[in-house]
Each structure stands twice: as C-alpha cells, then as structure tokens.
Chains A and B, each alone.
Chain A
C-alpha cells in the first residue's frame, strides 16, 4: 500500500521466458572506464550474460540499441555475477561468473568507435576453475587482510566453502551442521564469513580458523579440491534468530559503525560485529530482497527492502521513510550511479523485468475503475421514478399479504382415497402390536395449466397417522402436463387420531418475464380417510361409562344402509346396534332405537366417542342428502360432559408441569456437571498431581443422572403428545356438542373452533391451556360480556404457563353458561377481520 510509485527512469525486459534470481544482478564499473559510471551486469539461468549502460534521452525511455553493451550466451546457467579485483597483478575490476560446476573470470573491455554506436565491447576469459561440487553462491573480499586484491569463496549445495586465491585453489572446508545453503557474506572488519544455517542461527566463521583447520585435501587424493571432508570448524559467534534468512549484507560507512544486516523471512535484523542485535524490525509482509546504503542522517543507515506485494520500502533504521510501488516483484535490488545520476535504484524481477527508477511523487498506479453509469436524462429518470413510486405505493397500500383467491387456478391438485382398504397392508413401523394394521391408498393428481418450476408435493396427516412417503419432488411441469403419485396412509402411533383428514400441498414457482426465477405459489387440497382404517366391527357391549344421545328430526335409519362397511347383512339383528373396536383396543357402541329418533353412542373413554359421533352425523347427513331431504338436523339436548373434559385437561396439564420440572432438573444437573468438569480440569492441569478425591465418581454419577433425566423427559414428551391427541379429540367432541346443543351457524362454529383449537403447536413455552384461556376470556370480554364493566378489563399482556387450570375451567363453564343464556358469537366489523386471519382453511 503506497501513495506513490517508483518513477521509471529506464526499463527493459530481458529475453523470453528466462529466469533470474538473487545473484543475477550486479552493478559496477566493470569495464574500468574510470568515469565512475556504473554498468548493469545481468546473468540468467539460461546462460545469457548481458551488460547495460543505460542513458535514456528523457526519463521513462525504453531500451536503445546502444544501451546494451554486450550480450553473450555462456553454455551453462549463470548463478551469480560479481565484479572485483580478481586477477593478480592488476587492480582493475574483473567479472566473475559462477556456474554450477565452473567459476570463470572475465575481463571486459571496450574499443571506441568513431561514433557512439560504433563502440565495441568484448569479454576475454582470464581464468576458470572447474568445481567438483555443485555451487550455490559466492562472496568475495580481501580475505586475511590482503591489500589490493579480492579472493573468492564459493558455497556448494552440500555445504562446503571453497576458497580461491585468484588463479589457484586454496582450500575447502565443510560447514558443521549443514543442510541447506543460506546466504553468505564476508566481513572485512572482523575477517570472517557470516551465514545463516539450517538451525536458524546467524553464524560467523573466522577466515583464520577456516584456514588453520586440518586441511582435508592433504589426506585425500592429489586431485585438486576433490571431496574435501574438512575437520570440524569452530564457530566464532552464533546468534539464534529463529528463522531462515534471505540475504546478508555487511556495511561500514564512514560515519556509522560497521553492521551486519540480515533479512529474515519475517524480521529484519541489524547486528553488531560481535553478533548482538543492534535493532530489529518485525515486517508485516514477505520481503524479497534488500540493500542497505548510506544515510544522510549521522549514525543511521538507510535500507531498501523489496517485498512480494510489489513494494519498495525505504527505512531509516526502523522508521519507514518512503514506500514506493514497483511494477513487479523484485528478486534483487541495487543502487547505482548511472549517467551522472547518483543513487538510481536498479531492480530485477524473476522473469527478467529490469528497471532503473528513482523515488518521486507520482501517484500510485491504482486507478479505481469507473462505475458503470449511464447518461442521465432527467426527464426519463423522473418518469421512471414516478412509475416506481406508484408501484411501491400500490404494493404498500394492500396490507394483506395473502393472495386473492383466483378463479382459474394455475395448478390443480386432487386427492382420491380408494374406497377399500389395501388388500396387502403397506404399513411400516407401526407401534401397534398384535393385529395387522390396515392401510388405505391415496392417489394424488396434479394438473398444471402453466409452466410450474420445481413443483414439490407435501402430504400431511395428523400425528398418530402416517404416510408411506410425505415428500415428492418433480421435474418442471409444462403447460397442461400432469403428475400422479400413489401413497398409503396407516395408523402408526398407539392411540386413535383426533381427525381422519389429511392435506396435500403443492408448492411451485411460476416464472414471469421480469422474474425468471419464478414467483412462489402453493395449491392444496384435503382428503378424508375411511373409518375402517382405524377400527373394525365387534360384538357390541351394553355397559359403558360415557353415553351420548343425539336426536334427529327424522325417523331412524337402519345401520345396514349407513354403515354398510361395518354390518354383515346376513345378521339382521345387528340393524340397531353396532360395535366398533379401535386398533388400539378401546370399544365404542352405537345404538339406535327401532321406533324413535335418538341415537346413542357409548364408550368407556370420552375421547373415543368423537370419531364415531362425527362419522354418524356425517353419514346421516349424506344419507338424507341422497334422499333429497333438506331439513334434516341433529340436535343435542343433554348437558355438555364438561367434568370429564376437565379431567382430560388436567391430565395434559399435569404432564406439562412434569416436563417443566424435568427441564429445571436437567439444567441444574448440567450446571453441576460443568462445575465438576471445571474442578477436574484444574486438577489435571496441576503440575503436582493431587488426588482426585472421587471427583471422577461424582462426574460419572452426574452424567448418569443427566442421561436418566433426559430419558424420562423424552418419555414424558411422548405421553404428552398422546394426551394432547386425546384432548384434541375431546375438544372436537365438545365443540360439536355445543354447536348441536345451541344450533350454532357455520360462522359461529368457525369462531368456536378458532377459540378451542389454536393452530399453534403445543409447546412448553406456549401451550394449549393459556392460548385457549386467552381466547375464551377475549370472547367473554367482547361478544359474550354482560356489562360494559367487563369490557374494560385488560387482559394479561403476556401468555405464560398458568399455575393451575382452575381459571381455565371456570372460564369454560362460564362460557357455556353464557351461551346457554343466549349469548351469540359474533364480532363487530373491526375485530372480524382480525379473527379471520386466525381461522383455519
């Protein structure tokens, strides 16, 4: 991240698909021109050696033909190029080129032509050494304090330092503990070699120590530098920096003390001569190369650090002075004097991008791309805005999110229940033991008039009933296509259901022009299941706890006609008495007198009456409808069996209380468990092991308790759902009896159902009791209120689980009383809409 970019002074791209690395760039006055002008020497892994002398006419120029002084291809990859006084007898600068198995020293010279482009440059091989080991990098300097010449030290890939005294090989030494080569540098002040080893330490070896170590070569063959296996070399000093290093530089400028700079992978160190840290700097980027150079401020040293985010940072000691953006990742950076311009920054990237640049205040390259913007035509935009606002207004005006019923439905779903039970039962996993559980086939047909995307059919039946498959996914439907699926319904749970109905819902998307994803829609239909699915005929029993009498205004009908599927026609004595046995075991008996109208239903359990009563009224209605008899009506005169109903409520409520108790106990035990865990953890973490003092036993016991509690809670849950089904059956019965008793209209029955059978699930936080209580007290306050005083009462603001059911029972009794005294269930206009949303269907 930088404000500015490095200003391009001169740049070029070298070769094609050539590779370069750290050692490949060198800057020096290699042709000994004496003008103090540096040349740029670049070698590549492809073996090309190039020498440049850039002199752009104006800054930012590219390569001119005469800038390239020399280009030769050597036969081997060039690992490193260095310039120094490598030839004996002269103090002139020569070029050393390191290959894998060879070190060559060249003299570079130029002959002036008449015009500038007539200048000729050539290299002349002075001497070369063949190496027995694969070289890696090299350093040079006046080893041992010699004057006026430079000696060369080559590090091989397997950790041998090979020293050359110009034309002759001096000796070779192995570095101790070597694994992979690190950077190598020579410090003339201390006359030692400094490297970073694989142990992540900066190590310094005195030249003297190296030279006087037992020479391996003497024991070996006469052959030059063959397989030197030097004796252990003693290290001068070691500094553990804990990371690998990329490069080492040693600088001693006149004003500053000599320092060793080490560029690590994550930090940047400046060391004193004796290997102590002078300062260090944590880098928050990955550096790629660096070079220290002198500073204008006394006592400080400036450093250029290039990194992999294409940045060049200038530090004065540890303070960032400048940051410049480069066009490439530099693998090597140098500072040169070119064409009377001092301090040009020369950078080389690994794909051969060579650039000479200087620091300036050109803004960085980054230009935010333009946001796509169209020509603004205000009139059009105004019109569009108005149009959109109109649409939004329309959309917000209709508060109702429910779609209006469409006359022509796009997609029709129909369900057909087969009249007979399946010949072979399809029931799976039924909890009912003993007898075979019957099943009935339901055929569902979907017909689409439009394209329906991703149609998805869900079939739902109430809890103790189950279906063989409740989800179907189809491919997209074309217009006028249809799909048919077949499934079976059976009784799964061990209690009779509260409803013999099922629902199937199809959800699908209809794509429009603007919205290719489609608008989500649903279609649904209900189906009714046969009574035979859950019960079968038995011998009627005379005695029973609960009896109901339903009156009709028509003469009785023989059971042979209305219950043909339960009565065997051969036994005509059964015509006025009929026994039903549910799959779960309980029995219900239906009696009809031969002469008078009433029917009697009797059973041991209140909730079992419901399904039979419902079936009876339904079948009677159907029968009389067939006979074109319109004024048929059932009535109920007896008192509502509230007491028995309350017992069921109490049973359900008791289970809810139990569930709450279990929950409390569970959370208590969980807290205890965590506390023990924490104690144990402290024990185990202690250095000196203390006895556990049976904490482990305690943990185990608590764990078992938690599991046992969870099991009990689960069982309670199952009981509760069964109790709720029974409660629902009884509620249905009570609603039906109330409506028959008071001859309520369909609207009023709907309100009654909404009051007693909320759509919400029965959960611990929000259960049936409080919901129904709230609904009834609302009715008592509004349409059934006796005085205006009652209307003013505010209901409790929050629904929460009551302490007992006495208030609910009182309210239900009061409700029945009010209805008996002629109260009517109807709402004034404003609240009617509110109620409508709650109504099912």
Chain B
C-alpha cells in the first residue's frame, strides 16, 4: 500500500458570516463632545430638547453610550427637582430604568447562542441516562449514526470524531472526552483547545461587563438591593433582571429576583418562567430548567422558549427529543429559520450530513442570505467531490460581502479542485493578505502545500509545509505530510520522528498511524508496524488499506 499524504485538504470553517453580536462588547464608542450635553445638539439653536425624551430617542437609535450619559445626568439632579405630583411615576424611575436597559443592551449577546461546556460540567454530569447509548440517540458517540456520513478519508474530523463543519459556532470545536484524565491530557492546541475548566469562567468574558471597572463604582449595588421590593414592580423588574443577568452576570441574584417576580405574577407570566429557566440552565440544573420552559410554552408559544428548551435537551444528550420539539415548533411557526437551522445542526452533529444539508436547503428557502446555511452546504458539496457547486456557494458568500481569510482559502481550494487553476493562486494570495492571525496563515500555507503536492512541485510543497509549521507549531497534518515527503526522499529517521510528532499531536487522525505502520513495515519492524496499524484502525475502522496491512502482518506473524 502506498503511503498517503494527509487525507483531504483541510477546509476552513468560515466563521465570518456569523451575525455580529447585537452590541459591541463593552466597547466604548467614540463620543463627540457635542453629544454629551444635556440639551443635545439643538442647544445652539436655542431649542431645548427634553433630556428624558432625548435619552429615549437615543435608546431607540441604539446610541446607548449617549443614552446612559444623559440618564446619569438626570439621576444626578438634586432630589427636589425630581418631585412629581403623583407617586406612581417619577422621572427618576424612568431614567433609572432607561439607563439599566441601555447598559444591558451594550453588552447583550443572545443567550441562545452562548453555549460552552466546561470540564466540570462534563465530568460531573449526572444527567446521563445510559453509559452506552443506542446508536443514533446520543451526541456523545458521533460514530454511531447509521446515515452515510462521509469517511474521514475524504472529510477531516475533529478530535471528537465529528466531521469538520462549514461554520464555526460554539460547541462545534470541543469534544467530549470520556474521563477526567483524558480531558486533562488532551493536547491543548490553539484551535482544538481542551474544554475550559468551568463554564462560569467563560461567561465572565463573553458579553458581560462584570469585569469592566466602572469609575465611581457600579451603577447598581446589587448587595444593597431589596429584591422583594422590585419584584412587585413588574415595569422595573424586567429591565432590572436583564441588567443583573447580562450586565452583572450574577446568576444567583438574578434567580432570586426572577423567583420572587414569578411568584408575584402568580405564575401567570411566561416571561418570568423563561428567565427562571435560563438561570437554572446556567446553574446546571437542567431538569428544573426543562420544567420552567415547558410550563412557559404551555402558556404562550414563543420561538425563543422552544430554542431554550431544545438547548436543555441537547445538554441532556437527548437529540431525538430536541428534534421532535423543533418539529412541533415548526408546526406552530412554519418556516421559522432558527428552528430549521437548529434541526440541521443536530443532524450535522450526529454525522447525518445528508439530511443536515436538506434542512440547510430549507433554511435557504426561507432566508436566502443565511450565511451559516450557505457555508455548510458549500463545504458539504466540497467534501462530496463537487467543487464546482461548492464554488458557486462560496462565490455567493463573496458577493454578499463576506470578506475574510477563510472564504478566500475555501475559494482557492474549490478553484483548484474544479481545475480553475488561474484563480487558485490569486485566491490564496488574498487569503494570506487577509489572515488575521498565525493560525489562519498556517491553514493557507497548508492548503498551498496541498496544491503544490497536487501539481507535483514537491520542493514547493516541502517549503509550504515548513511555513505552516513556522506559523503554527501544532499542525499535525503538516507534520504528517512533511513525513510523507521525507519518506519519498528516503530519510527514514526524519520521517519517523515527524510521524511520531503528528500522532502525538492528533491521536484522532488515522493518517500518521497508517503511514507509520507502512514505514515500519518497510524497514522490517513488524511489531511496531502492527501496533501503529491497530491505532489507525481504531481511528478509522473502515480504512481498507489498513485492514489489508493488518492481514498481511498477521500472515507474517503466523509464518514466524
């Protein structure tokens, strides 16, 4: 059997098309001095704009920094001015509530998009029903689906054994290790990082301002807040809850407030139930969260509630239940993109690529500017050997204004495999020009090396792979391919060292193991060849060449 260069070219997931977070994360916008004044720009004309109205208008136009500044000025006025005749309503309360909302919106990230599972959550997971799930019912055993997934020979897989997707979203990168020891020993590279220790650490950084220091102390001092009092004022409580949850990231206090408020609303307000569920979810109480979401859905059908509930089911590793839920949701809200997209993602995670592609097509029928769907279908076409079709999808992304390294990288590869050689190099050139970090540069060089192998310029290939390693020292595929080139040159020792590096960096790849087996067999070290071949078989059971090699080796052993 001939040695194989590292399987398929590594296609980059395009992370670009992701809709930008709704608010710049704690980023202070440039403030013009004229915006700062209470009277607004109209002041110079002698036209006085009411400050509260101005703040309200700023809020509607999403100028949160200005809105918050204006509200602060209103709040700083001496109490005498705030007196109003009726007790129900005061300017003070209105300004306070508006500022709360503005501060929240500044850091708001949709809770549905946030998902990160830490080691502690994975290891202390007592929700698992069966240790060994039946095929097709669990996300933990990606290899168990019956659907004809692409073989790893064609489509590279991640550490957890899933095929690489076309779109980077939370949780597609991290795998689920089976034991704590394995989790800790997983090689920690820049891209396939081992799961973070605990989810709470991540939330602090993602879309919250709780780590930002505020001159003059925080806006609301949570420890001195009488939550019971606020829970009885629904008009203030909802904004306050979002502030505590999103801005302060204080789930425990948020839960206290939500629990009091839902009680005050006599359990009739579905919104509070969803919020209680969200808090439970963050605290890892999935069964309790499920109860709350279900109860909320009984009161009022909402797309968001369905998405939250599905998220709970996914965390409980019940993808089939989640799929059913999505389908029920689609009966109520036909054509809802978020629901169809959720179905497609589950299919993709369960290695059922063909039906995932079907659902992504449904998404495009509803919303033909959906970047995730376009990218996923494109990469699916690429890996099912239809680079021309993939090229059309990626070209569409380009026309839509996605302009980043990953896209040009993918375009370059598609062009190469579709035999449009004139565009290949210029695409890669652009990709290099756009690369934002060394990992991206490494990817482009790796693919250039692949192109060089394809056109037979081994010298160039060698240098490309070397450059890959200069940019990203952990690139297992590049080590493997370098080893193959060294093997061709007859440098057995170097090749062996490179293969060993590759297999220690990426034990999930079968190519280094297989190549090592072939190499050892060639020099006559049958024992090592056999061990490596077994590892290769473990990583990719269906690989014919490995099976042949093992058979051959067994014959040898029998003869001895």
The 0/1 profile, CB within 8 Å of B marked 1, for residues 271-315 of chain A is: 000000101111011101000000000000000000011000000
A180-B56, A320-B366, A320-B367 known; A45 and B40 CB under 8 Å? yes
Per the bound structure, the CA–CA distance linking A368 and B407 in Å amounts to 12
B333 touches A178 (CB 8 A): no
Which of A194-202, A462-470, A488-496, A515-523 interfaces with chain B?
Answer: A194-202
The 0/1 profile, CB within 8 Å of A marked 1, for residues 88-130 of chain B is: 1101011001100100000000100000000000011010000
Per the bound structure, the CA–CA distance linking A315 and B75 in Å amounts to 41
13 A–B contacts from the bound complex (CB under 8 Å):
A1-B371, A2-B400, A77-B47, A79-B53, A100-B49, A100-B50, A134-B53, A227-B85, A246-B60, A279-B334, A281-B336, A350-B61, A674-B124
From A100, A246, A323, give the contact of B369 (CB < 8 A).
Answer: A323
Chain B CB within 8 A of A37 CB? no
A198 touches B97 (CB 8 A): yes
Q: Which residues of A lie under 8 Å from residue B270 when comparing CB positions?
A: 240, 242
Q: Which residues of B lie under 8 Å from residue A242 when comparing CB positions?
A: 270-271, 274, 302, 304
B41 touches A285 (CB 8 A): no
Per the bound structure, the CA–CA distance linking A57 and B366 in Å amounts to 38
Known: A158-B89, A371-B426. 14 other contacts (CB 8 A): A3-B400, A21-B57, A21-B61, A46-B47, A77-B47, A157-B53, A177-B234, A178-B89, A181-B56, A199-B234, A282-B303, A318-B366, A319-B365, A681-B126
Chain B CB within 8 A of A366 CB? yes
B89 touches A279 (CB 8 A): no
The 0/1 profile, CB within 8 Å of B marked 1, for residues 346-388 of chain A is: 0000100000000000011010100111000000000000000
Per the bound structure, the CA–CA distance linking A389 and B463 in Å amounts to 10
Which chain B residue shows the least CB distance to A372? B433
A392 touches B401 (CB 8 A): no
Q: For A309, A371, A674, A797, which residue has the most chain B Cβ atoms within 10 angstroms? A: A371
Chain B CB within 8 A of A685 CB? yes
Per the bound structure, the CA–CA distance linking A2 and B369 in Å amounts to 7
Chain B CB within 8 A of A191 CB? no
Q: Which residues of A lie under 8 Å from residue B180 when comparing CB positions?
A: 674
Chain B CB within 8 A of A136 CB? yes
CB distance from A178 to the nearest CB of B (A): 6
Q: Which residues of A lie under 8 Å from residue B369 when comparing CB positions?
A: 1-3, 320, 323
Chain A CB within 8 A of B263 CB? no
CB distance from B167 to the nearest CB of A (A): 13
- The tally of residues in B whose CB lies under 8 Å from a CB in A reads 78
A178-B89, A678-B124, A685-B285 known; A1 and B234 CB under 8 Å? no
Q: Which residues of A lie under 8 Å from residue B91 when comparing CB positions?
A: 158
Q: Which residues of B lie under 8 Å from residue A47 when comparing CB positions?
A: 42, 45, 47
Residues in chain B within 8 A of chain A (CB atoms): 17, 19-20, 22, 34, 40-42, 45, 47-50, 52-53, 56-57, 60-62, 84-86, 88-89, 91, 93-94, 97-98, 101, 110, 123-124, 126, 180, 234-236, 238-239, 269-271, 274, 285, 300-304, 307, 333-338, 365-369, 371, 396, 398-403, 426, 429-430, 433, 459, 463, 528
Q: Which residues of B lie under 8 Å from residue A373 when comparing CB positions?
A: 429
B53 touches A100 (CB 8 A): yes
Q: Which residues of A lie under 8 Å from residue B402 when comparing CB positions?
A: 1
A77 touches B303 (CB 8 A): no
B269 touches A240 (CB 8 A): yes
Chain B CB within 8 A of A267 CB? yes
Which chain A residue shows the least CB distance to B431? A371
Per the bound structure, the CA–CA distance linking A558 and B243 in Å amounts to 89
CB distance from B373 to the nearest CB of A (A): 12
From A45, A320, A682, give the contact of B49 (CB < 8 A).
Answer: A45
Chain B CB within 8 A of A677 CB? yes
Chain B CB within 8 A of A71 CB? no
Main secondary structure of the interface of B (DSSP, over half): helix
Closest 3 CB pairs of A and B: A198-B235, A242-B271, A366-B401
CB distance from B26 to the nearest CB of A (A): 17
A1 touches B401 (CB 8 A): yes
Per the bound structure, the CA–CA distance linking A275 and B180 in Å amounts to 52
Per the bound structure, the CA–CA distance linking A279 and B337 in Å amounts to 13
CB distance from A542 to the nearest CB of B (A): 58
Chain B CB within 8 A of A76 CB? yes
Q: Which residues of A lie under 8 Å from residue B285 when comparing CB positions?
A: 685
A45 touches B61 (CB 8 A): no
Q: Which residues of A lie under 8 Å from residue B85 when comparing CB positions?
A: 227
Which chain A residue shows the least CB distance to B433? A371
Q: Which of A317-349 contact B (CB under 8 A)?
A: 317-320, 323, 325, 331
Q: Which residues of A lie under 8 Å from residue B366 when comparing CB positions?
A: 318-320
Q: Which residues of A lie under 8 Å from residue B56 when comparing CB positions?
A: 136, 157, 180-181
Chain B CB within 8 A of A17 CB? yes
A320 touches B368 (CB 8 A): yes
Chain B CB within 8 A of A628 CB? no
Q: Which of A158-187 contact B (CB under 8 A)?
A: 158-159, 174, 177-181
Per the bound structure, the CA–CA distance linking A134 and B50 in Å amounts to 8
B399 touches A364 (CB 8 A): yes
CB distance from B291 to the nearest CB of A (A): 10
B271 touches A318 (CB 8 A): no
- The tally of residues in A whose CB lies under 8 Å from a CB in B reads 74
Main secondary structure of the interface of A (DSSP, over half): loop
From A198, A331, A681, give the contact of B61 (CB < 8 A).
Answer: A331
B429 touches A363 (CB 8 A): no
A1-B369, A179-B97, A199-B234 known; A681 and B124 CB under 8 Å? yes
A46-B45, A179-B97, A308-B62 known; A240 and B300 CB under 8 Å? yes
From B19, B335, B463, give the contact of A318 (CB < 8 A).
Answer: B335
Per the bound structure, the CA–CA distance linking A5 and B304 in Å amounts to 31
CB distance from A18 to the nearest CB of B (A): 8
A2-B400, A3-B399, A229-B86 known; A77 and B57 CB under 8 Å? no
A282 touches B61 (CB 8 A): no
Chain B CB within 8 A of A22 CB? yes
Chain B CB within 8 A of A204 CB? no
Which chain B residue shows the least CB distance to A200? B238
Per the bound structure, the CA–CA distance linking A77 and B97 in Å amounts to 25
Chain B CB within 8 A of A660 CB? no
Q: Which residues of A lie under 8 Å from residue B236 when comparing CB positions?
A: 179, 198
Per the bound structure, the CA–CA distance linking A45 and B58 in Å amounts to 12
CB distance from B52 to the nearest CB of A (A): 6
Per the bound structure, the CA–CA distance linking A724 and B528 in Å amounts to 35
Which chain A residue shows the least CB distance to B95? A180
CB distance from B40 to the nearest CB of A (A): 7
Which chain A residue shows the least CB distance to B397? A1
A179 touches B235 (CB 8 A): yes
Which chain B residue shows the least CB distance to A392? B463
Q: Which residues of B lie under 8 Å from residue A77 when comparing CB positions?
A: 42, 47-49
Chain B CB within 8 A of A407 CB? no
The 0/1 profile, CB within 8 Å of B marked 1, for residues 115-151 of chain A is: 0000000000000000000101000000000000000
CB distance from B370 to the nearest CB of A (A): 9
Q: Which residues of A lie under 8 Å from residue B274 when comparing CB positions?
A: 242
Which chain A residue shows the least CB distance to B91? A158
From A46, A79, A199, A371, give the contact of B430 (CB < 8 A).
Answer: A371
Q: Which residues of B lie under 8 Å from residue A100 when comparing CB positions?
A: 49-50, 53
Chain B CB within 8 A of A782 CB? no
Q: For B89, B338, B426, which residue has the most chain A Cβ atoms within 10 angstroms? A: B89
A157-B53, A198-B97 known; A371 and B60 CB under 8 Å? no
Q: Which residues of A lie under 8 Å from residue B238 when comparing CB positions?
A: 198-200
A244-B101, A280-B333, A282-B303 known; A179 and B42 CB under 8 Å? no
Q: Which residues of B lie under 8 Å from residue A284 when comparing CB positions?
A: 19, 337-338
A100-B50, A240-B269 known; A282 and B336 CB under 8 Å? yes
B49 touches A197 (CB 8 A): no
The 0/1 profile, CB within 8 Å of B marked 1, for residues 488-530 of chain A is: 0000000000000000000000000000000000000000000
Which chain B residue shows the least CB distance to A331? B61
Chain B CB within 8 A of A75 CB? yes
A19 touches B40 (CB 8 A): yes
From B20, B62, B97, B396, give the contact of A3 (CB < 8 A).
Answer: B396
